[in-house]
Amino acid sequence: MSLPQDLKYSKEHEWVRMAGDVATIGITDHAQDALGDVVFVELPEVGSHVVAGASCGSIESVKAVSDLYAPVSGEVLEVNDTLTDSPETLNSDPYKAGWILKVRLANKADLDALLDAAGYQAHLG
């Protein structure tokens, strides 16, 4: 499995792509593979605040329902509404079209708790 090198990763299998103070968040290829076919995504409300390490939504697959954990804290600026009608995008393109939400980063120190691609790969074993 090749991991995008420009992302940060959580041990809960979310990824973060930074652009200024905005974090785009999604789930990793490993996560979507473990979930199986995604059939529903519960997204947080725009304008709400998410807290690093806390649940901020859920992803339902044919196998199970899993919490989506915020890898960073901040205000939700945007959600990927495409996932409402096409949740399977998380399976087909988890690192680009399958992004889940965008958050204005509240604390840059949250990024220090995340892994780089090599660290995430080591975490997977």
How would DSSP label each residue in 50-88?
E-TTSEEEEEEESS-EEEEEPSS-EEEEEE-THHHH-TT
Query: Residue 1 has what pLDDT?
Result: 61
Cα–Cα distances in angstroms (integers) from residue 86 to residues 9, 19, 41, 76, 109, in the given order:
24, 25, 9, 21, 34
Distance CA 92, CA 56 (A): 22
Place of tokens 């220090």: 112
Q: What strands lie across the sheet with 14-19, from one edge to the other?
A: 8-9, 14-19, 22-27, 101-105, 74-79, 49-50
Q: Which residue, among 32, 100, 80, 102, has the nearest Cα to 60 in the 3D structure?
A: 32
Q: How far apart are the first and last CA of the chain?
A: 12
Ordered by start, the domain boundaries in the chain are 8-114
Query: Residue 44 has what pLDDT?
Result: 97
Query: Residue 2 has what pLDDT?
Result: 76
Distance CA 48, CA 50 (A): 7
Domain 8-114 sits in CATH at 2.40.50.100
Give me the tens of pLDDT residue by residue for the chain, a chain 125 residues long: 679 999 999 999 999 999 999 999 999 999 999 999 999 999 999 999 999 999 999 999 999 999 999 999 999 999 999 999 999 999 999 999 999 999 999 999 999 999 999 999 999 99
The pair of three-digit structure tokens given for residue 45, joined into one six-digit string = 């409300």
